[in-house]
Structure 1
Amino acid sequence: MAATMDGIMKAIFSCIPAAPSSAADSCLSADFSSNFSGGGGCGGGGEDRISCLPDALLSNIVSRLPVKDAARTAAISPRWRRLRSSTPLVLVDVDIFHDYVVGDGHGHDGLIDWRGLTSAVSRILSGHQGPFRTIHLTTVCNYAAARGGSALVRWLHLFAAKAVEELVLVNFPMWPLDNTLPAELLRVASLRRLYLGLWDEFPDTDHLPRGAHVFPHLLELGFCRTDIKDKDLDSLLQRSPVLEKLALILNYATPRNVRVRSRSLRCVLFWMSIADALDVAVAPRLERLILWNDCPGACFDKSYRTRVKIGNTPALKVLGYLEPSIHVLEIRNTVIEFGTKASHTTTVTSVKILGLRVRFGMHRETKALPTFLRCFPKVETLHIMSAEADEPTGKLNFKFWQDVGPLQCLQSHIKKVVFKNFRGYRSELAFLRFVVERAQLLQNMVIVLADDSKEGVAEKLKPLACSTKRASRDPKFMILVRKGGSPWSFRVASDLSKTDPFDC
């Protein structure tokens, strides 16, 4: 269990927003120079250059310091005290955590002064006039939420009163056993970004006035291993009118049926999560639907499936990774099965970038590839991730691909193919040969070797480059072979500034 919880915590911290300050890498240094002499002002002897900067710039500097260092600036001069009190608060509890570790300093249970740490956070929050820019609490939430959560309730009142913009609340795993979020969270209307981690129960939204906006300014919302009922998630989406990004991270069957109805969402990330259904019903601005199924600590039988339902999504451009092993694709109420023919009711013509994760050692999954490709006839960039099969059921050779009928995306649109985790199996080579010979407009093929691939595996790719049946006659066509690059991550996948979130 310890190893599993370590994996869960590592995954959560790789997904939540990075803390804006750290005692390890932030400092304030005044540069005294012998070139300045005389008294008074910035040219006077002993006057530091930093203090010569305008108030707005100094305030920005203070906001980037760890909270203890920012507080120390008040001792410099009355001007710095005024700047400190008026600078929007940035509080990361990790920056003060080690001040309250006693004993051997390893942070084991019983060696942390939780009461002192909680009181320190309370003093910082109460002593600042506001506004609050960023609050990251990833060590102290458990104690603050215990015994009725009175400390956490007080903090949430302060967050609402002092207009916090970014809030991250993450618990330690396993203690206390009952971590319920207070309903006061729903009153923090100033939030622009909210991430919650390891909470057993999200507040019920039934009591909220009909049509009222809970988070009128919220742009990004993330649930990390946090239980929320289907109806409450749906309610939050309806009550967050400008929300652009929704992330469900390590959520195992809570909510059980994820229904997305939002006029503002641009990106949905279903990351290391499990659900019976992910129903993107109405999302006219949705550009990206990101799926990643590797779930640390999750156990489910071979019959487990998630129904991925795509409804009214006219702006959807990026989709993946779809996995034939676990995803049942449904488009406009039509379940996509082997042999389903392309029609206006079974295709999504807006998708330009598609990611598929396939175990080429599984006969059924490989056969599903052409069916999935028919559903997205205007794909321009295709990402294929090859996965290992625990119990291979047979590999399809090139004869299968020769019998595959026309695929519109290959004939008319695909310009780039990225094949990841290539191990040199005949089934992988058969698929790549099929793509090279059928893709009329293909310009670039990138093949990334698996980390555990055998020496000389790249030699097996040479026949692809000189295929006599190459459909595209573009002299610029090339095949690039490289070793594994940077691992794909949540931060890469969720970065809306990246044209292709699967590139890494």
Structure 2
Amino acid sequence: MAATGGRAIMEEILACIPTQPLPSSSCTQGPGFVSVYAAAGGGGEAGEDRISRLPDALLSNIVSRLPAKDAARTAALSPRWRRVWASTPLVLDDAHLLPDRSDDGPSGFRTDWRAIADGVSRVLAAHPGPFRCVRLTHVCNYAAARDGGALARDWFRVLAAKGVDDLVLVCRPWPIDVGLPADILRVASLRRLYLGLWDEFAGGTKVTKALHSGEIVFPHLLDLGLCRTDIKAAEIDRLLQCSPLLEKLALVACHNSPASVRLRSRSLRCVLFWMSVVEELDVLVVPRLERLILWSECTGARARLNDGFRTRLKLNIGYVQELKVLGYLDTGIHVLHISKTVIEAGTKPSPRTIVPSVKILALKVRFGVRNEAKMLPSYLRCFPNVVTLHIMSEVAEEPTGKLNFKFWQEAGPIGCLQSQIKRVVFKNFQGNRSELAFLKFICERAQLLHRMVIVLADGDDPASMEPMVAKLKSLACTKWASKDRKFTILVRNGGCAWSFHRASDLSVSDPFDC
């Protein structure tokens, strides 16, 4: 792969991995930390050591927020500080051990990676544990390859023995053929695990056999992220079975590896395929699933897919009764199966072809490709209780025929439009007639519509905004079906990028808003 492509993938992955440790009930939060500095500030005599008067809990708060090497240095201040450092759950980020860029050059060619890996080893060995968060995004490759595998022999053994809540392992530099050691399965204390750029997950077939032993490997794991890490479908299946509390599963930048994924879990609440594609995603038994995010958009995504590539998305309606958020369903890539029915243009709704729990639905469509646009009515009929509808319009490089307003008039009744939808967000509006025909159709059918938001494709260009708005004025002449007197149409520019962190945040009610 070209260097630029490798750098782009690296940047995409680093943008998705967690940057903050998981919340810990043992840590005092922000306001307490501010009061530490207030207590240590003015009001005393010059040179007075007021910090040492603070209780150990507040000193531990200070230490927990320092870079690891600075936190370790506090142990030299006094026996009390040594005790505080040892009793504070460790937060270690190997980025804090890197030399100053001004001394090392922009590419890090003079970096002494052995010294940095040794520094990680010393910190892990010196601290008695537990470890709140360990984030290794620079030296994993070196540690995995040197001396017969220091990563497996030393680090995983210490992490397993002393306990770590939150672990991020990214194999850099990349691409180099390095597999993740199977010793990762011994770290049973994990609550969050993100893995990036590993050529093989935990020894491949060897670990699959270990997972099939039936043991609970990760009894506390809540959040699992696999970022451009080769893993087999059977390994994902067993990981789900061996992680009984897992609530969030993310596959990031996994380009058709594995080719198919089966989801069976009694605990999963959120699944994300972020910049990832598979040939088949089979949602079998996931009774607590609330959110399913499908996002294939990344640099050159369409170019990497063959014209005939499709993802079969299978939903078993008997086991997705909590699914409230779904998208982006791409009418050009996703083939939707509900139970045993393949949804096609013209499919009539029935109890076997609807998912009544979905309230927020996001669809992606190329209005210039006739066969893709014709799937919109069929997809909408599958989700009769949608309240918020997001439509992402994509450019058709080779248009195959547009659908005019007459087509939408003849589309027949669509339950969610007539009785449920209150908000529509149309993104990437380019101003073509097919888009306007669809928007007019929405206005004439959506009886409970309260607000329509139209986000312009070239909204950052002031010169392009005026003609786009002029085209949208034709909607004012439409006979609106909405009975809401406060119904409004809001036109705005773009500029707010959707992010993995928003899509995966379960505290955000609508992850597609930005």
Q: Is the 8 A contact 1:465 1:478 kept in 2?
A: no
* 1:448 paired residue number: 455
Q: Is the 8 A contact 1:30 1:49 kept in 2?
A: no
Q: Is the 8 A contact 2:292 2:326 kept in 1?
A: yes
Q: Per the alignment, do residues 34 and 343 of structure 1 end up closer, same or farther by CA in structure 2, a change over 3 Å counting?
A: closer
The residue type paired with residue 439 of structure 2 is L
The residue type paired with residue 497 of structure 1 is S
1:309 aligned to 2:308? Answer: no
Q: Per the alignment, do residues 12 and 366 of structure 1 end up closer, same or farther by CA in structure 2, a change over 3 Å counting?
A: same
Within 5 Å, give how 1:238-387 maps onto structure 2.
238-296=241-299, 299-311=304-316, 312-387=319-394
The residue type paired with residue 238 of structure 2 is S
Q: Is the 8 A contact 1:377 1:409 kept in 2?
A: yes
Within 5 Å, give how 1:37-52 maps onto structure 2.
37=45, 46-52=47-53
Q: Alpha-carbon deviations, 1:190-229, whole Å to 9, x = none? A: 0000000000111223124633111000000000000111
Alpha-carbon distance, 1:29 to partner: 7.2
* 2:143 paired residue number: 144
CA distance in 2, matches of 1:30, 1:488: 38
Q: Alpha-carbon deviations, 1:281-322, whole Å to 9, x = none? A: 110000000010114365121001111111121100000000
* 2:496 paired residue number: 486
CA distance in 2, matches of 1:34, 1:362: 68
Q: Per the alignment, do residues 373 and 34 of structure 1 end up closer, same or farther by CA in structure 2, a change over 3 Å counting?
A: closer
Structure with greater helix share of residues: 2
User: 1:84 is paired with a residue of what secondary structure?
Assistant: helix
CA distance in 2, matches of 1:75, 1:173: 34
Name which of 476, 479, 482 aligns with 1:472.
482
Q: Is the 8 A contact 2:263 2:282 kept in 1?
A: yes
CA distance in 1, matches of 2:279, 2:41: 66
1:224 aligned to 2:227? Answer: yes
The residue type paired with residue 458 of structure 1 is V
* 2:82 paired residue number: 81
Q: Alpha-carbon deviations, 1:327-370, whole Å to 9, x = none? A: 11111021111111101111101000000011111111111100
CA distance in 2, matches of 1:348, 1:260: 17
Alpha-carbon distance, 1:76 to partner: 2.8
* 2:425 paired residue number: 418
The residue type paired with residue 302 of structure 1 is D
Q: Alpha-carbon deviations, 1:354-394, whole Å to 9, x = none? A: 00011111111111100110111110000001111111112
Alpha-carbon distance, 1:472 to partner: 1.7
* 1:42 paired residue number: none
Q: Is the 8 A contact 2:429 2:454 kept in 1?
A: yes
* 1:40 paired residue number: none
User: 1:119 is paired with a residue of what secondary structure?
Assistant: helix
CA distance in 2, matches of 1:81, 1:367: 68
User: 1:81 is paired with a residue of what secondary structure?
Assistant: helix
* 2:72 paired residue number: 71
Aligned residues: 489
CA distance in 2, matches of 1:102, 1:470: 62
* 1:496 paired residue number: 506
- For structure 1, which runs of at least 5 residues remain unmatched after alignment? 38-44
* 1:199 paired residue number: 198
Alpha-carbon distance, 1:234 to partner: 0.1
* 2:44 paired residue number: 36
* 2:174 paired residue number: 174
- For structure 2, which runs of at least 5 residues remain unmatched after alignment? 23-32
User: 1:285 is paired with a residue of what secondary structure?
Assistant: coil
The residue type paired with residue 323 of structure 1 is D
CA distance in 2, matches of 1:217, 1:283: 19
Alpha-carbon distance, 1:47 to partner: 3.0
1:400 aligned to 2:373? Answer: no
Alpha-carbon distance, 1:153 to partner: 3.0
Deviates more, 1:457-466 or 1:360-369: 457-466
Q: Per the alignment, do residues 427 and 173 of structure 1 end up closer, same or farther by CA in structure 2, a change over 3 Å counting?
A: farther
Alpha-carbon distance, 1:105 to partner: 2.2
CA distance in 2, matches of 1:29, 1:444: 47
User: 1:303 is paired with a residue of what secondary structure?
Assistant: coil
Taking structure 2 as the reference length, the TM-score comes to 0.91
Q: Is the 8 A contact 2:21 2:166 kept in 1?
A: no
CA distance in 2, matches of 1:502, 1:32: 44
The residue type paired with residue 191 of structure 1 is L
The residue type paired with residue 420 of structure 1 is K
Q: Alpha-carbon deviations, 1:449-495, whole Å to 9, x = none? A: 1136724211222232442x211221111111111141111011011
The residue type paired with residue 212 of structure 1 is E
CA distance in 2, matches of 1:481, 1:431: 16
* 2:30 paired residue number: none
Alpha-carbon distance, 1:420 to partner: 0.6
* 1:156 paired residue number: 156
Quick one: percent identity of the two aligned structures?
62
* 1:9 paired residue number: 10
Deviates more, 1:204-213 or 1:117-126: 204-213
* 2:29 paired residue number: none
Q: Is the 8 A contact 1:5 1:173 kept in 2?
A: no
Aligned-residue CA RMSD (Å): 2.1
